[in-house]
Each structure stands twice: as C-alpha cells, then as structure tokens.
Homo-oligomer: A and B are copies of this chain.
Amino acid sequence: MTLYMNLAQLLTQRIEQGLYRPGDRLPSVRALSIEHGVSLSTVQQAYRQLEDHGLAAPRPKSGYFVPTARELPALPAVGRPMQRPVEISQWDQVVELMRAAPRDDVVQLGRGMPDVSSPTLRPLLRELARLSRHQAMPGLYYDSLYGTQALREQIARLLVDAGCQLSIGELVVTTGCHEALSASVRAICEPGDIVAVDSPSFFGAMQTLKGLGMKALEIPTDPLTGISLQALELALEQWPIKAIQLTPNCNNPLGYVMPEARKRALLTLAQRFDVAIIEDDVYGDLAFSYPRPRTIKSFDEDGRVLLCSSFSKTLAPGLRIGFVAPGRYLERVLHMKYIGTGSTSTQPQLAIAEFIKGGHYEPHLRRMRTQYQRSRDLMIDWVTRYFPAGTRCSRPQGGFMLWVELPDGFDTLKLNRLLLDQGVQIAVGSIFSASGKYRNCLRMNFASKPTPQIEAAVRAVGSCARQLLVENPHPDADL
C-alpha cells in the first residue's frame, strides 16, 4: 500500500470508530502532514480518496468535514421464504429480461451489465484486435477442453487474492460464470434433488435448477450478513439436500459480503452434513473493501467447494469467459462442460490472459470499484429522494446492484409494465425467488457513470411507484 492509502485507511477507521462524527471537522492537511511525516500532497491524495468514498467533504476555506449523513432508507426485511423445497417458477419474466438486446431508447436498469466504457479496458481491446490481425491465428482453433494454459495461469494468480492456492490443473475455463454454475450443478445433482439457496438469489442460477428438474429450498438471508446458518442447519436436518448454492461476496441482489467467520461456519456445516457448496464469486473482485474478501473455497480442505466466477462483471460480459475450480468434482465438471459447449472460445481467453499479464487488470479494478462505490451512494440518494416513503434498500459492499423493497403487497410486475412505456427497464423481484416471492422488490443497476438520463430513469421508477400506491393505497388488500 502506498503512503496515501495507508493514511486514508487510518482516517477511515477513525471515522468508522466514531472518533470523528458526522459534522465534525477533520484534522487539517498541515497537521496530518506533520503528525505522519508525509508530504502535503500525500495528505491531499488521502483526503481525495476519502471524498471518493463519501467519508469527507471539503468546505471552502475551512478544510475537510465528515459529511452529515442524509437519513438512509431502512434495510430490506429478511425474507420469509417457503420452508420446503419447491419447483422453480418465473421463467417467463426471466426470458422477458434476457430477450432484450441493448437499445439506445431504453435505460436498462434491469440487467447485470458492468460499465464497459472505461479507458482502462483499452489494452484488452487492443489485444483482441492484435490477435485478429494474424492469419493462422490461434484464436481460430479449438482450444483444450480445460481452457488455454495462459489464461489458467493468470486466473490461478488472481485467486491468491481471494485466499485460494490452486494449480492450473484444478481450473476449467467456461463460457461465462453461467456455464460454470450449470456444469457444477449438473456434476453434483440429479433431477429431483434439493439444492439450498440464499434468498433472494441470482435468477440465472435458479433457472438452471429449474431447467434441470431440481428443487430449490430457499433459506432466509440477512441483508448485511447473508444466509441464515440457523435456518440452513434446520433445513439440512430436515431435507436430503445435495448442495448449497450461494453468492457470499457482493451478493446478487443484496450486495452484502458475508463475514469471514460465517463463511467458515457455513463450511463446517457443509462438512457435517456432507453436502457440496457451489460458490458464485462473480462479483468478488468488485468488493469496495481492500483487500478483497476471501472465498469459502479458500477455507476448503476436502474439495467440496466448487468456486464459480467469470470476467463478465469485471471486464465485459460479451466475451463470455468464466471459470470454475471444481475441487473433487473436476472430472464430472469437465464432462458436463464438454457436453454443454465443448471448448470455450479461444481468442478472448488469450486476450484476457495478456491483459492480466500486462498488469492492466488491477488498475482497471481499482477504477471500477471507486466508480461503482460513488454511483452506489448516488443511487441510494436518488432512491431516498424519489421513492415513496417507507421504501427500503440494500447497502451494497461491492458490485453494482441495488435491491429496493417497496411496501408489502406492492406489485413490481405492474410497475415494470408502466415503466417500459417510459423507456425504463428494471428487474422485478419475483425472479429472485424460487416461489415467486419478493413481488414488492426490484433490482437496479448502478454500473453506468451517473447521467441526467439515468437520474431521470430512477426518478421515473419512483414516481410510477408513487402513482401505483396512490391508485391502490393498501396494496396488501390486493393479495
């Protein structure tokens, strides 16, 4: 860590510990410079970082202050899903969301698109172009079923930050995280089997269970600390669960990072009941804290964790490059990957490997994390201002998704239909539940750099929601 980052971290801690409180004046640049024996510009850099994180606000000629926090919306309630395995519904609404190609006339707040316009992606594009310039280019060939060695080497290096020591022989490149999850489920489960999932949960992973004829058992999940271990334990005692599928880091859609102690406890539980864990870490590299949070896989000793991820959220989803570290299920996962798609497309693998090797990945991540954190604060602010009173929302610790909860009985399906006429698309909450719960919730993407157009779109969501509430002030009665 550089000097200014050290200093910024120290100040952050003091603010978080309550040493400086909202409205307090922070130490002057000069005082800090003397106290820590660093240059004035180093202190200024540290303050700029605090500013970026919303922890310091400059006042002209007065120095830096801890911002007076606007009252934040309450956290979403912990869901009370069905306490039994269910067959998954909601395919129609998912297909409606996925059918949509990017369109200039619709603000797509619904999909899981990162911002791909950052200049830090340029070396990747250059590499893609360079690879295409060679005739007999290796990108035209079938690749090895495992994926290119060059990329697997880089993935193994990156995973050290997530706490994993893996050899390249333990990694399989896939067509996005989607294929990683799908091959993992198929490697472990048969139709009819029960999989425990966090709730709300990524709809893509649940549709995989549906498509393969498996049942989902939704476990109540806390919006700050993740899946309830108590409820999970009860479920494991009661049902013949084959696997636990969850997103502990920068959860989609809730945005929490599951604390390390709870990750360990979850693993112990899985060991006790001898079930596999399918860990979706696709947003893990986008956690706002440094260093990035560890994976459950990093504590795994007997190969029961299948770690699934991709470059779709960190680089670009159109490349469709993901990977899986399947532990003891390697051979089965390889078979499932083979029957699903054969090899993975070669050229983007080579380009990504070169991008990481060339040292471009870390600076890109740093930039995106900062941008997303800033947009998160703005998005929460917009929800506070534009949404009906009583609206609750999540506190994402990484990634670029906000989960918004409207009053009980509110129908976001109706809201979505209203919004489409206005050129705004959201993800309705019910697709995040196996049993069609969370109809009063929605997920919004804050990846794009804030623009007046996006603010207008969020305002439109808010006013349509108000309108629906006015028309039907006691939505509960509707149920």
Q: Footprint of B on A, CB under 8 Å?
A: 91, 94-95, 98-102, 111-113, 116-117, 119, 121-122, 125-126, 128-129, 132-146, 148-149, 175-176, 178-179, 182, 186, 190-191, 204, 207-208, 210-213, 312, 316-320, 334-336, 338-348
Interface-centre pick from A101, A137, A176, A317 (highest chain B CB count, 10 A): A101
Known: A176-B341, A211-B338. 18 other contacts (CB 8 A): A94-B338, A121-B135, A125-B135, A138-B318, A141-B317, A142-B312, A142-B317, A175-B340, A179-B340, A179-B342, A204-B338, A210-B335, A211-B335, A320-B343, A320-B344, A320-B345, A340-B341, A347-B348
Q: Give the complex CA separation of A344 and B348 in angstroms.
A: 13
State in angstroms the CA–CA spacing of A312 and B345 once bound together. 11
Q: Given A116-B141, A129-B133, A319-B140, decide whether A338 and B95 contact each other with a Cβ distance below 8 A.
A: yes
What are 22 A-to-B residue pairs whose CB atoms are below 8 Å? A91-B335, A95-B335, A99-B144, A102-B138, A102-B142, A128-B128, A140-B317, A140-B319, A141-B316, A142-B317, A142-B318, A175-B320, A176-B343, A178-B341, A178-B342, A182-B340, A204-B339, A208-B339, A211-B338, A318-B343, A320-B343, A320-B345
Q: How far is the CB of A470 from chain B (nearest CB, A)?
A: 35
A113 touching B98 by the CB < 8 A rule? no
Report the separation of the CA atoms of residues A99 and B99 in the bound assembly, to the nearest whole angstrom.
34
CB–CB A142/B341 < 8 A? no
CB distance from A67 to the nearest CB of B (A): 33
Check B144–A116 contact: CB distance below 8 A. Answer: no
The chain B residue sitting closest to A127, CB to CB, is B132
Do the beta carbons of A335 and B135 come within 8 Å of each other? Answer: no
Contact A135–B111 (Cβ < 8 Å): no
**Residue of B100, B111, B178, B340 touching A178 (CB-CB under 8 A):** B340
Which residues of B are found within 8 Å of A142, using beta-carbon distances?
Answer: 102, 111-113, 312, 317-318
Would you give the shortest CB distance from A183 to chain B, in whole angstroms? 9
Residue in B closest to A183 when the chains form the complex, CB atoms: B340
Cβ-closest chain B residue relative to A349: B318
The reply to whether B341 and A319 form a contact with Cβ atoms under 8 Å apart is: no
Residue of B nearest to A342 (CB): B178
For the complex, give the distance between the alpha carbons of A121 and B346 in Å.
Answer: 17
A179 to B190, CA, bound (A): 20
A310: nearest residue on chain B (CB-CB)? B342
Whether B207 pairs with A190 at a CB distance below 8 angstroms is no
A381 shortest CB reach to chain B, Å: 27
Distance, CA A317 to CA B347, complexed state (A):
11
- Which single residue of chain B is at the shortest CB-CB distance from A144? B101
Choose among B91, B117, B126, B210 the residue that contacts A136 (Cβ–Cβ < 8 A). Answer: B117
Query: Residue of B at shortest CB range from A142?
Result: B317
Contact B99 A122 (CB under 8 A): no
Note all chain B residues with C-beta closer than 8 A to A312: 142
Cβ–Cβ contact B339 & A182, under 8 A: yes
Q: Is the CB of B182 within 8 A of A341?
A: yes
Distance of A144 Cα from B318 Cα, bound (Å):
10
With a cutoff of 8 Å between Cβ atoms, the chain B residues found around residue A113 in the complex are 141-142
CB distance from A187 to the nearest CB of B (A): 9
The smallest beta-carbon distance between A221 and chain B, in angstroms, is 22
